[in-house]
Chain A
Amino acid sequence: AQSVAQPEDQVNVAEGNPLTVKCTYSVSGNPYLFWYVQYPNRGLQFLLKYITGDNLVKGSYGFEAEFNKSQTSFHLKKPSALVSDSALYFCAVRDGQTGANNLFFGTGTRLTVIP
C-alpha cells in the first residue's frame, strides 16, 4: 500500500534560517515523489519532483529536496527562509510500478516564517 507521512503539522522558523519540512513514504515499487505548496485560498502549486537520478532535486523558489531510499524520506529544504514562504506544504507519492492513478498526499505541514 502507498502512503505518505508528514510528521509535523506545524513548523516555525525565523526568517533567514534554513528550513526543513519532513516527509516519509511507503510504496511497494519505485517511488515518484512530489512536493506542492498551497497558499491561502489557492490551489496546489508544484515545487519539485523526484523520478530517478540525482538524489538532490532542485525546484522552484529556491527549494530543494533530498531523496533517501534507505530512510524512505524526501525532506524539503531551503537554505534561507523568507516570510513569503509561509504556506501549507504537501508531500505526495505515486508508485511507479503498480500503474495506479492515485497520487497519495500527506496531511500537510504548515510552515510559518517569523520575521
Chain B
Amino acid sequence: ETGVTQTPRHLVMGMTNKKSLKCEQHLGHNAMYWYKQSAKKPLELMFVYSLEERVENNSVPSRFSPECPNSSHLFLHLHTLQPEDSALYLCASSPGTAPSYTQYFGPGTRLTVL
C-alpha cells in the first residue's frame, strides 16, 4: 500500500464543515481516480483525472469537489455533506486510462458525516 497513500485514514465531520481528503501516488502513474465504497453496494466511480485533466465526472453532487494539481496528487474537497455520504473513499492510480491498465488502490479514508 505504500504505492498509493491517503490521508486522513478516518474523518468525522459535521454537515456544515469543510474538509479535504488527500491522495498521493508514488508509482509514476498518469491517471488518478476517486471511488466511493458503501456497504453492500459496488464501488462507485466518482472522478477520473488523466494528466491532471478531469476526464470523468459520474454525476457526483457538487458538494464533492476534486482537485488534481499534478499527476502525483489528488484531493477531494468536501462541504455541506449529508449523512448518506458516510462511506469509505478510495483513491486509485494507473499508468493511463486504457482499459488494460491495472488500477492500484490506496487504503481509503473512512468518512463519517454526523
B42 touches A106 (CB 8 A): yes
Measured CA separation A37–B90 after assembly (Å):
14
Question: Who on chain A is nearest to B108 by CB?
Answer: A43
Measured CA separation A49–B1 after assembly (Å):
19
A32 touches B1 (CB 8 A): no
**Contacts beyond the supplied A43-B105, A101-B97, A105-B42: 9 A-B pairs with Cβ under 8 Å:** A34-B103, A43-B1, A43-B6, A45-B105, A46-B104, A90-B43, A96-B99, A103-B45, A107-B42
Residues of B within 8 A of A (CB): 1, 4, 6, 40-43, 45, 48, 55-56, 58, 90, 92, 97, 99-100, 102-108, 110
Q: Which residues of B contact A43 (CB under 8 A)?
A: 1, 4, 6, 90, 105-108
Measured CA separation A50–B76 after assembly (Å):
31
Question: Who on chain A is nearest to B6 by CB?
Answer: A43
25 residue pairs from A and B, CB less than 8 Å apart: A4-B42, A34-B102, A34-B103, A36-B105, A41-B107, A42-B1, A43-B1, A43-B6, A43-B90, A43-B106, A44-B43, A45-B1, A45-B105, A46-B102, A46-B103, A94-B99, A95-B99, A96-B99, A101-B55, A101-B56, A102-B45, A103-B45, A106-B42, A107-B41, A108-B42
B43 touches A101 (CB 8 A): no
Residues of A within 8 A of B (CB): 4, 32, 34, 36, 41-46, 49, 51, 90, 92, 94-96, 99, 101-108
